[in-house]
Amino acid sequence: MQPDHDTIFAPATATGGAIAVIRISGDEAFTVCDRIFCGRTPLAETESHTVHYGLIVDGERTVDDVLTTVFRAPHSYTGENSVEISCHGSAYIVSEILRLLLAAGGRMAAPGEFTLRAYFAGKLDLSQAEAVADLIASSSRAAHALASNQMRGGYSAALDTLRDRLLHLASLLELELDFSEEDVEFADRGELQQTMEHIDLEIERLRNSFALGNALKEGIPVTIVGAPNAGKSTLLNRLLDEERAIVSEIAGTTRDVIEETVNIEGIRFRFVDTAGIRSTDDRLERLGIERTLQRIAQARIIIRVLDIEAFAAKTSLRSEHPVPAPDFEIPQSATLLTVANKIDLYPELVLPQGVIGLSAQNGQGLDTLRRALLQAVGSNALEQGDIVVSNGRHFEVLTIAHEALGQALHGLCSGLPADLLSEEIRQVIRHIGEITGRGVILSDEILQNIFSKFCIGK
Ligand code: GDP
């Protein structure tokens, strides 16, 4: 896939704002715009990075008063001549300007086409381009930090380092081929193994960070479980009230599953309130329980709400009493938080270690629960500037690279000749290159897949 030389245009802002921006990019961007823009100077004669007031005209008719911003190649997002028209935010005005741009010789851009051109112009590598889309979609401080780190290229630099080390190994091996008569080993096999294992560890670290990265990006799935009347809904409502939550219904899941999204200290949590679990013959209730178990399996954090009243009456809850075991299985990667709700009813009660005392009704203990939630996320890695992979495609590629490296290591240990071994290593290099797009030619399918997910105008 290579970009054509068309002059492309697209609205860059959503409808409904006071101002709308339309971007135009391509060799002929200034000429195309000058056919519909009437300012003091034709845009073709203006300096880069300047703003010009003027009119958008359709023959004799004025469509709008606008500001145009001029970027000259190569100093623009796409690396091409570019113009941004800021007009009044009317859907009608925008559609008129788009119509006029088409008539003036431009073509409507495909989703992500501006960024695709930026990628081909070498302005961004592939992982940075993907981060642009994530940045636009980011809705919490954590998701923003992930995208922003990736866009600034920290990620690409780390991958380049890995790639360079592998390239060095491959070339040492290839050097041996030139001296094959003399039976020399430029690449000490012990050192080679050590370096490859070290690189594999790095790849593994990146792969493992995906669980956190993905959860931070999409929102941490938290499932609230507990017997009916334990206070699950009250707890959720309390959290929502205090955090001014966004309520969202998830498409594609069961009708009655409502997810509530809450930002706590910059991290997005997706809370799901579930039906209680108990054995029952009721078919509908059984369905509800099945769904609860499903949500438990998907959760990263499970809040188990125990009704302190029922609990206290049964076992006279004191510190030496162990907490009853949950009647569901906790996924290996999930954290279980046990909450004893309605402590307002038994203020004197001593709770067992690790149980969070809570009154969902008056908010007591909520701060402790919030801290426990944040701690369970373990987002320190992100705050410490560690690389956290949040892109599913990168995770897949890293998995393939890890497998390929495993195969190369196996080859090394079983005495594979230098030429075959270097080919194995080059295979790993190619896989790593697929993340940033550096040093490899990517298939149209990969590129299309990535850029078609972008919005129009980006
Ligand atoms: P759910 O079935 O688990 O969702 O439970 P609800 O949230 O509907 O609560 C059941 C009942 O317990 C309601 O009458 C609530 O008002 C009450 N409740 C919930 N939390 C508390 C609490 O912290 N203290 C007291 N005293 N009552 C509570």
Round to the nearest angstrom and report the end-to-end CA distance of the chain: 18
Cβ of 231 less than 6 Å from ligand 1: yes
Cβ of 359 less than 6 Å from ligand 1: yes
Q: Ligand 1 center to residue 138 CA distance, Å? A: 34
Q: pLDDT (tens digit, 9 = 90+) per residue, 298-352?
A: 899 999 999 987 666 655 555 556 677 888 888 888 999 999 999 999 888 888 8
Nearest ligand 1 atom to alpha carbon 236: 7
CB atoms within 10 A of CB 235: 24
Q: pLDDT (tens digit, 9 = 90+) per residue, 248-305?
A: 444 333 335 567 888 888 889 999 888 666 666 677 767 777 888 888 888 999 999 9
Nearest ligand 1 atom to alpha carbon 360: 23
Q: Ligand 1 center to residue 230 CA distance, Å? A: 6
Cβ of 228 less than 6 Å from ligand 1: yes
Out of 64-68, 210-214, 215-219, give the one with best mean pLDDT: 64-68
Cβ of 233 less than 6 Å from ligand 1: yes
Q: pLDDT (tens digit, 9 = 90+) per residue, 21-35?
A: 999 999 999 999 999
Cβ of 230 less than 6 Å from ligand 1: yes
Q: What is the pLDDT of residue 279?
A: 63
Q: pLDDT (tens digit, 9 = 90+) per residue, 3-58?
A: 788 999 999 998 889 999 999 999 999 999 999 999 999 999 999 999 999 999 99
Q: Ligand 1 center to residue 146 CA distance, Å? A: 37
Cβ of 361 less than 6 Å from ligand 1: yes
Q: What is the pLDDT of residue 155?
A: 78
Q: Ligand 1 center to residue 98 CA distance, Å? A: 56
Residues ≥6 apart with Cβ < 8 Å to 281: none
Nearest ligand 1 atom to alpha carbon 230: 3
User: What mean pLDDT is predicted for residues 144-157?
Assistant: 85
Q: Which of 224, 225, 233, 234 to mutate to test the pocket of ligand 1 (most atoms within 8 A of CB)?
A: 234
Nearest ligand 1 atom to alpha carbon 237: 7
**Spatial distance between the Cα atoms of 72 and 53, rounded to a whole number of angstroms:** 18
Q: Worst-scoring range by mean pLDDT, 237-251, 265-279, 415-429? A: 237-251
Q: Ligand 1 center to residue 361 CA distance, Å? A: 7
Q: Ligand 1 center to residue 233 CA distance, Å? A: 7
Residue 158 has pLDDT above 80, yes or no: yes
Mean pLDDT taken over the chain:
86
Q: What is the pLDDT of residue 81?
A: 98
Q: What is the pLDDT of residue 266?
A: 87
Q: Ligand 1 center to residue 231 CA distance, Å? A: 4
Q: Ligand 1 center to residue 232 CA distance, Å? A: 7
User: What mean pLDDT is predicted for residues 399-417?
Assistant: 93
Q: Using CB atoms within 10 Å of the CB of residue 144, give its burial: 0 to 12 exposed, 13 to 18 middle, 19+ buried.
A: middle
**Spatial distance between the Cα atoms of 442 and 446, rounded to a whole number of angstroms:** 7
Cβ of 364 less than 6 Å from ligand 1: no
Residue 169 has pLDDT above 80, yes or no: yes
Q: What is the pLDDT of residue 62?
A: 97
Cβ of 226 less than 6 Å from ligand 1: yes
Q: Ligand 1 center to residue 128 CA distance, Å? A: 47
User: What mean pLDDT is predicted for residues 179-195?
Assistant: 77
Q: Ligand 1 center to residue 223 CA distance, Å? A: 17
Residue 136 has pLDDT above 70, yes or no: yes
Q: What is the pLDDT of residue 450?
A: 83
Q: What is the pLDDT of residue 247?
A: 43
Q: What is the pLDDT of residue 275?
A: 67
Q: What is the pLDDT of residue 255?
A: 38
User: What mean pLDDT is predicted for residues 434-439?
Assistant: 86
Q: What is the pLDDT of residue 383?
A: 66
Q: What is the pLDDT of residue 312?
A: 67
Q: Which of 225, 229, 271 to mutate to test the pocket of ligand 1 (most atoms within 8 A of CB)?
A: 229
